[in-house]
Amino acid sequence: MPVSSPITILDYKRAIAQEMGSRYVSLDPDVAAPHGCEICQVPLTIGRAYLARFGTWRCGQCIGNDGFATVVELDEFRTTGITGCPQCGAPMPPPADISRNLRSYRYQCPACGATAQFSNRLSG
């Protein structure tokens, strides 16, 4: 199912700190993020930055379905390369097709047959 409300970098950092036993995390949401949005290049703060598939950063306008709904989903993707199907939510294995320039990845859902295409638009 599509991501309805993706988590921000700030959400992720707070969840990790809490998991490590910190009861209070003094992260300022207005701290500048190290990267701007990969699509529109708007400057981001950690409270307005979303981690998209393949490690790119996006703003709320550009994240689309490339964001992560939960910390668990993000951690799973970071460790296994498995992402949830945007149609049914079932786990999709690592990409079926990777473009020659390594910037576009197509996943195929084994449960419903849907495909999901994620693109890394960072220059360089």
Q: Out of 3-7, 20-24, 90-94, give the one with best mean pLDDT.
A: 90-94
Going through the chain in order, the beta strands assigned E by DSSP cover: 50-51, 57-58, 83-84, 91-92, 97-98, 104-108, 115-119
Q: What's the rounded Cα separation, in Å, for the pair 92 and 31?
A: 34
Domain borders along the chain are 9-119
* Residue 3 or residue 51, greater confidence: 51
Question: pLDDT tens, 7-53?
Answer: 999 998 888 888 877 665 667 889 898 889 988 999 999 999 998 87
Q: How far does Cα 86 stand from its chain's mean position?
A: 13
pLDDT score recorded for residue 123: 47
Q: How does residue 1 score in pLDDT terms, banded at 50, 70 and 90? A: very low
Largest CA distance in the chain: 46
Selection from 16, 8, 12 nearest residue 37 by Cα: 8
